[in-house]
Structure 1
Amino acid sequence: MNCLKGLGLAAVTAVMAIFSAGQAFAMPPGAMRVIGQANPPLGHYEFCQTYVSECAATYKDAGPMTLTEDKWRTLLDVNYTVNSSITPMTDQEIYGVEERWAYPRTVGDCEDFVLLKRKMLMKKGFHPSDLLITVVLQPNGEGHAVLTVRSDRGDFVLDNMRNKVMLWSDTEYTYLKRQASDNPARWVKLQDGRATAVGSVGQ
């Protein structure tokens, strides 16, 4: 995937108005709709061969988490910390291969950003069934990966192309597929509700 198009990191802004005192939260559009099974991206399949324990189905779907102000601040902090500490580079530039998913140390592409954010959030107590690697298409047709965070206030997206954490439905992406909520090695096809069903990549 070419994950570097349109990259630009802005300064972190204040916590969104959804937690402002005295304001009721406006419920977002429905969560992304799962419409079937999908093949995992090749890079994730190979990642699972290396990190077997991280791709084992050792948990059940806990259901969307309750999004508190503290959890929201943690999402903002982790997204900003990873975005500002990892320099974006393609796998070709780093490893000399077209696709390799790995935990980044100083450089990485979009999937590497996602893997690190997911790992950090799990260490902070987020349930893995709510932290789902997701494959999308950018408006220019190029593939990209983001981290979907499921919550009772909607599905939010952590993206290496922006520090703002947004509802999936507010982004410019077309959502193709993501990890299953009950098995990190399994993937499901998505219909995001804003358009007709779309196919998945990496089949």
Structure 2
Amino acid sequence: MAIAGMVAAGLTLQPAHAFLARPALFAAIGAATKPPAGWQQFCAENADECRPGTDQVRDVVLTPEKLQELYAVNKYVNDRVVWTSDDALYGKAERWTLPLDRGDCEDFALLKRKLLARAGWPQGSLLITTVEEPGPGRGRHAVLTVRTDRGEMILDNQTPEILFWYETNYRYLSRQSASDPNVWVSFGTEQPKPAIAPTER
């Protein structure tokens, strides 16, 4: 389904002024690290999804229209795919794939990446990211980071809200490099914070 169709299907326009007014702040990236085993398995089965993009690495200018595209894709995938564990679907602990109607967090992120790339977003702005959730269990989770000129935004299957990376409660572990999806990088131990906490969402 085209993004224009997603918007036409009834998604209301999300206010953009609050996003555009926030400070542009990028996460501190560390050294190269080993790609997740799930990504390597996914690439072995979907080589076309894993080739470095031919588009120039750049940060997308975040306009109200581009923000709306993010909301449209995030809502479409979150509404369409029912979270289901890999163990229930495939009988194994971990398997990354493009979902049809069921999948886990990595599958949500992969489908959002594919739909945004199909809509013209450069591959280098769409980065699968692994995080650690807060709380006693401290489970692992995956989201899609979208790089824009206003900073990095997080598309998450656990919420319809789109947040800047520094507004989540996650501890960031690793993500794809903007220049090559098969190169993964860690996050710096010290991360910048906005000078003034955002008061509007």
Q: Secondary structure at the match of 1:135?
A: strand
The match for 1:173 is: 170
The match for 1:112 is: 107
State the 1:63 CA deviation.
Answer: 1.9
| Superposed counterparts of 1:119-134, under 5 Å | 119-134=114-129
Runs of 4+ in 1 over 6 A off after TM superposition: none
2:191 is aligned with 1:193:
yes
CA distance, structure 1, for counterparts of residue 152 and residue 64 of structure 2 = 16
CA distance, structure 2, for counterparts of residue 26 and residue 172 of structure 1 = 18
2:23 is aligned with 1:27:
yes
2:97 is aligned with 1:99:
no
Maintained 8 Å contact 1:62/1:129: yes
State the 1:17 CA deviation.
Answer: 4.7
1:145 to 119, 124, 142: 142
State the 1:174 CA deviation.
Answer: 0.4
1:182 to 171, 176, 179: 179
CA distance, structure 2, for counterparts of residue 61 and residue 176 of structure 1 = 26
Q: Secondary structure at the match of 1:126?
A: coil
2:131 is aligned with 1:136:
yes
State the 1:16 CA deviation.
Answer: 3.3
CA distance, structure 2, for counterparts of residue 64 and residue 58 of structure 1 = 14
2:145 is aligned with 1:156:
no
The match for 1:18 is: 17
Q: Secondary structure at the match of 1:15?
A: coil
What CA deviation, in whole Å up to 9, does each residue of 1:74-119 have, x standing for no partner?
A: 1001000100110001000111000000010010000000000000
% same residue: 37
Q: TM-score, normalised by structure 2?
A: 0.84
Q: Secondary structure at the match of 1:164?
A: coil
CA distance, structure 2, for counterparts of residue 26 and residue 103 of structure 1 = 33
1:75 to 70, 87, 98: 70
State the 1:57 CA deviation.
Answer: 2.2
What letter corresponds to residue 162 of structure 1 in structure 2? T
The match for 1:7 is: none
What CA deviation, in whole Å up to 9, does each residue of 1:6-41 have, x standing for no partner?
A: xxxxxx775135269xxx72314x211111101000
Which 5+ residue runs of structure 2 have no aligned equivalent? 1-10, 194-201
User: How many residues end up aligned between the 2 structures?
Assistant: 180
State the 1:42 CA deviation.
Answer: 0.5
CA distance, structure 1, for counterparts of residue 153 and residue 34 of structure 2 = 23
Q: TM-score, normalised by structure 1?
A: 0.83
1:55 to 34, 43, 50: 50
| RMSD across aligned positions (CA) | 1.9
Which 5+ residue runs of structure 1 have no aligned equivalent? 1-11, 196-203
CA distance, structure 2, for counterparts of residue 84 and residue 177 of structure 1 = 26
Q: Secondary structure at the match of 1:103?
A: coil
CA distance, structure 2, for counterparts of residue 14 and residue 96 of structure 1 = 40
State the 1:60 CA deviation.
Answer: 5.8
CA distance, structure 2, for counterparts of residue 33 and residue 183 of structure 1 = 18
